[in-house]
Amino acid sequence: MPRLGPQAISLALLVPILLLLILFFLFPLAYLLHLSALAQQPTLQNPFPRLSFVNYVKILQDYFYLSMSLNSVLVGLSTTFFTVAIAYPVAFYITRINGWERTLISVACLLPIFVNVIVSILGWYILLLPFGIIQQALAGLGIVSGPLQLLRTFPALVAVLVYEHLPFAVLILVSSLQAIPADKINAARVLGASVPRIVFSLIIPLTMPGLVACVILVFSLSASSYLAPILIGGQRTPVLPLAIFSYGTELQNWPLAAALSFVLLVLVVAVSFVFSSAMNHIAKRGQWEFV
């Protein structure tokens, strides 16, 4: 297309995507927000119930929902911490290699994107079963004896979530590590900087934007994850998505499910905001030497 010229054509090309996003993304979210502020479920007899914050009040006053929200945040934070701690060295290693070794490591680390999440959860489920492989291995090493409760525990849930979200962290970190100019590292080396100094005052500050993006993404995905909590964590570690699912589908209490969704959304946004502004604050104070 040599000349797309008139704005009219461009706007016409944008119509399908705008329609889709307005009708099936913005409107539904707005309707959900409205629903969360209704005193009761709209019915045929009473299609317009009065507006009130009764659902939010109920959530904020109930110890059960508060501990559920706290659980969600804790699950998200622990998952994010371990995911980044594992993904960073792996991503660094990936940028130093090429050829088939790179393909092999990439396949292994990005596997959860290409293989269904149900498949990997099933694999973990088999590994964690009572008298399953992990227990047999630990017993073989003489570390434990007797039955071991692994399924339905907080560490197991975090392990599965770390597994599930590692690929996203690796992807972001690889692309931000690759963007570091090699001559900066060489310059530091020539000037006699030690390896830890190169890592902490050069590589980590230079990849800070990627690191922040990675933390925000992994936190928001893991805190709002539903499948691993229901299949691995169970009711022992109740998190918000479990309640959203049961009120949204089985119990059909949509106003409460909607309010819980917005509580989850606010938590995710708040933690992301606090983290990224804290990082900005540190960067501005110049605790790191930005190059």
Scan residues 116-135 and list those touching other proteins (CB under 8 A): 116-127, 129, 132-133
Closest contact distance (angstroms) between CB of 18 and other proteins is: 8
- Candidates 74, 77, 90, 198: give the one binding other proteins (CB under 8 A): 90
Total of chain residues touching other proteins, rule CB under 8 A: 83
Q: Is residue 147 a contact residue for other proteins (CB under 8 A)?
A: no
Q: How far apart are CB 61 and other proteins at their closest, in Å?
A: 22
Contact (Cβ atoms closer than 8 angstroms) between residue 27 and residue 41: no
Write out the binding residues for other proteins, residues 21-50 only, by CB under 8 A. 21, 24-25, 27-29, 31-32, 35
Does 224 engage in binding with other proteins (CB under 8 A)?
yes
List 39, 60, 70, 104, residue binding other proteins (CB under 8 A): 104
Binding to other proteins by CB under 8 A, coded x per residue (else -) over 182-211, reads ------------------------------
**Single residue of 114, 141, 190, 235 touching other proteins by CB under 8 A:** 114
**Considering the complex, what minimum distance in angstroms separates the CB of residue 209 from other proteins?**
10
CB 17, min distance to other proteins, A: 5
Check binding of 113 to other proteins (CB under 8 A): yes
